[in-house]
Structures are given as C-alpha cells and as structure tokens.
Amino acid sequence: MTTLESPKGILLVVSGAAGTGKGTVNAILMKEHDDFVFSVSATTRAPRPGEVDGREYHFMTKEQFEEQIRLGGVIEYTQYCGNYYGTLKSELRKLDEGKNLILEIEVEGAMNIKRLFPDSVAVFILPPDAVTLRNRLVNRGTNTADDIENRMKRALDEFSLVEHYDYAVVNHDGRAKEAADAIYAIVKSEQHKASRAEGAMNRLFFNQE
Ligand code: 5GP
C-alpha cells in the first residue's frame, strides 16, 4: 500500500448510454480486482432473463420502492422509462470495508451523487463515434427501428453532459479491457490524492489526533 491512509473505498460513479458497453467494462474491473464491488440498485422494472434478485438489482414493487423512499433508505433515485431506479443507503456500507463501490447509474443520479458526495469520482463511458454506437444498438437485435432512434437521441443528449463528469473513457470495439484498465488507473490516482488523507499527516508524524 503506497497511499497515506485508505480506510474507506472510493465511491465510483460510472455512466454510459445504452451501447457504450459500461456493463462489460465494470464486469472486467470487478473480475480483475477484488477491491471493486458493485452497488446493487433497487428497481421496479421486471427482471430480464438471467437476472437474479439481489445480484443485478433488488427488484421491488412500486409500493415497496416508495416505502423505501419514505423510510430514507434510498440515497438517490430517478424514473427512467416508466420505472424507479435508486441507490440504497445500505450499499454504502461496502465503502467502510475498504471496497471501491461502483454505482452504474444514469446522468441525473450521477449528478446527485456528486452533489451529495463531492469526493466521489464520476466516469463517463463513451463509444468511439456515432456510427459505432448505432451499429452496436442495431447488432443487439433486440431493438425496433424506433427504439434505436430513441436510444440514439437519448445517448446524444446525455453526451452533452460529459463535462460535468470528472473523467471520460472511450470504449472501443473489442477493447473493453483497455477501458477497464483506464478506470482502474483513475481510481489508483484518486487514492493518492493528498486531500483524501486529511488528518493522516498529523496522526502519523506529529502525534496529534
Ligand atoms: P437498465 O434497465 O438498462 O438496467 O437500466 C436503465 C438505466 O438506469 C441505466 O442507465 C442504468 O445505469 C440506470 N440505473 C440503474 N440503477 C440506477 C440507480 O440506482 N440510480 C439511477 N439514477 N440510475 C440507475
């Protein structure tokens, strides 16, 4: 460990529109580094085939979600395509275990997290260009022509917000590992930020608590 002190993990927000490959990039990060964990959000959308409750999401009814909001159990939430999505307060405990916590959330949520936790690190994943993005959406095969146009439009709208993020990482076709390595490097540098070691100098060198 070459950092001054790192009792807490980094709160890492990762956003990217459909077709940017953020899920693949985050999966590589977690597979290769056991100090990276995923924040499991709550949602009212139905599980997709292969999704497991408690792994991809905590699947909830609208009533259950609204109850969580009332009880203060949700740090941020948004409505996306007619469903609630939110980050559960309980997920933040993973930070106290020293883990870097990945919040894979959309832009509104990302901006809310930055406001609430200024020392969080927000990374925006981009496709290399518009043609590649469209090809990826078409090649998924699950979207209708209308759907593809909507998603393209939404993605381009979201891209205009990139300047509010701390970092931007391009995910080229077949090179998700490079994007994951870039995010890993970002987090490693952030861990060395002198401002994160508040109090450590006094404790370590001047016998002051
Ligand atoms: P999907 O239905 O494709 O899993 O997710 C739809 C969008 O909701 C994605 O952009 C995803 O990043 C975002 N999302 C997932 N969980 C959360 C959350 O807890 N909060 C916010 N604000 N967005 C989320």
What is d(CA 25, CA 17) in angstroms, rounded to the nearest whole number?
13
Report whether residue 106 contacts ligand 1, using a CB cutoff of 6 Å: yes
What is d(CA 107, CA 91) in angstroms, rounded to the nearest whole number?
19
* CA-closest residue to ligand 1 atom 10: 106
Helix (H) or strand (E) holding 209, with range, is none
What is the DSSP annotation of 138-185? HHH--S-HHHHHHHHHHHHHHHTTGGGSSEEEE--TT-HHHHHHHHHH
Per-residue pLDDT reduced to its tens digit, 60-103: 999 999 999 999 999 999 998 789 999 999 999 999 999 999 99
**Ligand 1 pocket: which of 26, 39, 41 to mutate (most atoms <8 Å of CB)?**
41
pLDDT at position 124, please? Answer: 97
C-beta neighbour count of 128 within 10 angstroms: 13
Give the SS3 label for residue 86. Answer: strand
Nearest atom, ligand 1, residue 39 CA: 19
* CA-closest residue to ligand 1 atom 15: 105
Per-residue pLDDT reduced to its tens digit, 165-174: 999 999 999 9
pLDDT at position 165, please? Answer: 97
Half-sphere exposure of 153 (CA within 13 A, CB side): 6
Residues in CB range of 74: below 8 A, 6 or more apart: 42, 65, 68, 86, 87, 88, 89
**Ligand 1 pocket: which of 85, 112, 147 to mutate (most atoms <8 Å of CB)?**
85
Q: Which of 186, 125, 137, 130 is nearest to 161 (CA)?
A: 125
Q: Which of 150, 187, 145, 156 is nearest to 33 (CA)?
A: 187
Q: Pull the structure tokens for residue 63.
A: 């009533």
How far is the first Cα of the chain from the last one, in angstroms, to the nearest whole number? Answer: 22
Residues in CB range of 162: below 8 A, 6 or more apart: 124, 126, 168
Per-residue pLDDT reduced to its tens digit, 23-61: 999 999 999 999 999 999 999 999 988 999 999 999 999
Averaged pLDDT, 197-209: 78
Report whether residue 16 contacts ligand 1, using a CB cutoff of 6 Å: no
**Ligand 1 pocket: which of 106, 108, 117 to mutate (most atoms <8 Å of CB)?**
106
As beta bridge partners, residue 170 has 126
Gap from CA of 105 to ligand 1 centroid (Å):
5
Say what percent of the chain tops pLDDT 70: 98
* CA-closest residue to ligand 1 atom 19: 86
Helix (H) or strand (E) holding 28, with range, is helix 22-32
Report whether residue 110 contacts ligand 1, using a CB cutoff of 6 Å: no
pLDDT at position 6, please? Answer: 64
